[in-house]
């Protein structure tokens, strides 16, 4: 098996992805639909096990690495500097994502000529008020937040706990060393679990390709092109320039070193599930020190949703074009602003952003019936679109973390420039 481990992980993941598509399509086309569904469901179990393993370590990973990262700073003031810089960059990249999304929606006109006659309306649940979402960041019981996997609450508690360790100084050192050791152990667990990634990706993609089918893309070809090309443009231009101009680092090496995280993001459609891999590639491949990786990346996985913002803008124009709504010039900045605001803190799970669409469509007064119809039309194949926008989110997290680390002299450039870990 030495030959298998000699292949770079991202290449093994890509192989699993390609074989999964081929297997899923062949099963769907050569077997009875009921038998094909049963077989693909069994194959998907492999992917589900992989996802559960990753989700198993997400909460302890965020807790231990965030506390250890803050403790490694050595100065509470540094946390404020790093956090502020990261937050500003996240907002800045989201602004450009909005522009690119609206531009792609205007260029491709994905909603023109679309037949929604076969779509079944899908009603949405009530959106949680902004005040409640903000209040929920402060956990009434931090242990309950850990158990329930409330990432925002876990981040808030971890930040305060890490600052408390710093302020405790000498008395806090034993606990600080414990968290540093625990974060190392969690990262080693991540490495073990990631060896299962090619098989997990195979199972997930085989099920998606076999049940959704290639014809899914043809039904929404223009929308798919708009999202995928918009995502690629945003990653290359915005994140590429961020790394090259603001961090003064080679761009090709950056994209080469994060391929593992991008592949897992594409297959899982979950920023939260990809977080363990994102932290691993950031520290091992990019040379980002734990003080930045452990604080900026969990924050980004929670509030940096550029892919979601870009996507919501495109789908808003798709809706207007499909139903013939007239968009006035003032609607475009309002759509962009609303998409940016609702994307912040979106749950890092598949298709979560689709269920925020109704808030954006309210900008130009789309009727509830039309909103339900659009969501019902997109939902069956949203996973294919969600896969790419998750790649955008994860790429943005690492680009911002790389830039902040370079600014704070918390990036080992020798590690950044050398060949990535297997």
pLDDT tens digits for 47-70? 888 878 877 887 887 788 778 877
Exposure on the CB side of residue 304, measured as CA atoms within 13 A: 32
Q: What does the alpha-carbon distance between residue 275 and residue 280 come to, in Å, rounded to a whole number?
A: 9
Q: How many other C-beta atoms lie within 10 A of the C-beta of residue 175?
A: 15
Please choose, from the candidates 252, 201, 255, the residue with its C-alpha nearest in 3D space to the C-alpha of residue 392: 255
Coil vs helix vs strand at 260: helix
Length of the chain: 422
Partner residues linked to 411 by β-bridges: 288
- Give the closest residue to 8 by CA, choosing from 251, 283, 284: 284
* Helical packing angle, 151-168 and 173-194, nearest 10°: 140
pTM: 0.75
| pLDDT in single tens digits along all 422 residues of the chain | 677 777 777 778 788 888 888 898 888 888 888 888 888 888 889 888 887 887 788 788 778 877 887 777 666 677 678 878 988 899 899 989 989 999 999 999 988 877 665 555 555 555 555 566 567 778 888 888 888 877 768 878 888 888 888 888 888 888 888 988 888 888 788 778 878 888 888 888 888 778 766 555 555 788 989 999 999 999 999 999 999 999 999 999 999 999 989 988 887 777 777 888 898 899 989 999 887 887 888 878 777 889 988 999 999 999 999 888 888 888 898 888 888 877 765 554 445 566 667 778 888 888 878 887 787 777 767 777 888 989 999 999 999 999 999 998 999 999 998 865 44
Q: Is 348 exposed, middle or buried (0-12, 13-18, 19+ CB in 10 A)?
A: buried
Quick check: helix, strand or coil at residue 147? helix
Q: How far apart are CA 63 and CA 52, in angstroms?
A: 18
- Measured distance CA(47)–CA(42) in Å, rounded: 10
At 380 the pLDDT is 65
pLDDT for 208 equals 74
| pLDDT score, position 422 | 47
Q: How far is CA 273 from CA 2, 233, 316, in A?
A: 28, 24, 27
Strand, coil or helix: 304? coil
Tokens of 155: 């981040």
Residue 244 has what pLDDT?
95
Q: Which whole-number Å values give the CA distances from 261 to 81, 285, 312, 343, 352, in the listed order?
A: 26, 11, 23, 21, 20
Buried b (16+ CB within 10 A) or exposed e, 146-172: beeebbbbbbbbbbebbbebbeeeeeb
C-alpha span between 292 and 408 (Å, rounded)? 9
Model pLDDT for residues 96-149, shown as the tens digit of each residue: 998 999 999 999 998 887 766 555 555 555 555 556 656 777 888 888 888 887
DSSP 311-333: HHHHHHHHHHHHHTPPPPTTHHH
| Nearest Cα residue to 314 out of 172, 104, 39 | 104
Q: Which domains does the chain have, with CATH numbers?
A: 2-417 (1.10.3860.10)
Cα angle vertex 264, ends 301, 108, to 5°?
80
State residue 119's pLDDT score. 55
Distance CA 288, CA 263 (A): 20
Q: What is the pLDDT of residue 162?
A: 84
Residue 348 confidence (pLDDT):
47
Residue 411: phi, psi to the nearest 5?
-125, 130
Q: Are 174 and 346 within 8 A, CB to CB?
A: no
97, 306 Cβ separation under 8 angstroms:
yes
Name the helix (H) or strand (E) containing 43: helix 33-73
């Amino acid at each position: 098996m030495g030959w298998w481990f000699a292949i770079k992980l991202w290449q093994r993941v890509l192989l699993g992805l390609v074989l999964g598509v081929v297997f899923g399509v062949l099963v769907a086309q050569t077997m009875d639909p009921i038998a094909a569904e049963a077989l693909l469901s069994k194959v998907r179990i492999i992917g589900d096990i992989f996802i559960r393993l990753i989700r198993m370590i997400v909460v302890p990973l965020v807790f231990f690495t965030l506390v250890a990262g803050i403790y490694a700073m050595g100065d509470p003031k540094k946390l404020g500097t790093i956090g502020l810089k990261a937050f500003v960059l996240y907002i800045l990249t989201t602004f450009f994502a909005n522009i690119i999304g609206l531009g792609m929606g205007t260029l491709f006109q994905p909603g023109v000529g679309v037949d929604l006659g076969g779509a079944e309306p899908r009603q949405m649940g009530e959106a949680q008020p902004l005040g409640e979402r903000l209040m929920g960041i402060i956990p009434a019981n931090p242990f309950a937040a850990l158990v329930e996997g409330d990432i925002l609450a876990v981040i808030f508690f971890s930040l305060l706990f890490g600052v408390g360790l710093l302020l405790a100084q000498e008395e806090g050192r034993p606990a600080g060393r414990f968290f540093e050791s625990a974060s190392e152990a969690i990262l080693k667990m991540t490495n073990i679990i990631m060896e299962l990634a090619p098989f997990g990706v195979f199972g997930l993609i085989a099920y998606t390709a076999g049940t959704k089918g290639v014809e899914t893309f043809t039904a929404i070809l223009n929308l798919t092109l708009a999202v995928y090309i918009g995502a690629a443009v945003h990653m290359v231009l915005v994140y590429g320039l961020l790394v090259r101009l603001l961090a003064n680092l080679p761009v090709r090496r950056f994209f080469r070193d994060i391929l593992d995280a991008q592949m897992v993001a594409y297959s899982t459609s979950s920023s939260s599930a990809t977080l363990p891999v994102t932290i691993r590639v950031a520290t091992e491949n990019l040379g980002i020190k734990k003080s930045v990786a452990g604080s900026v990346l969990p924050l980004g996985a929670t509030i940096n949703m550029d892919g979601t913002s870009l996507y919501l803008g495109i789908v808003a124009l798709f809706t207007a074009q499909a139903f013939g709504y007239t968009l006035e010039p003032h609607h475009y900045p309002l759509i962009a602003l609303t998409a940016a605001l609702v994307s912040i803190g979106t749950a890092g799970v598949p298709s979560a952003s689709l269920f925020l669409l109704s808030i954006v469509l309210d900008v130009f007064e789309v009727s509830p019936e039309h909103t339900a119809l659009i969501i019902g039309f997109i939902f069956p194949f949203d996973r294919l679109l969600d896969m790419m926008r998750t790649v955008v989110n994860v790429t943005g997290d690492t680009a911002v973390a790389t830039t902040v680390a370079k600014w704070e002299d918390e990036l080992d450039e020798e590690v950044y420039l050398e060949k990535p870990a297997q």
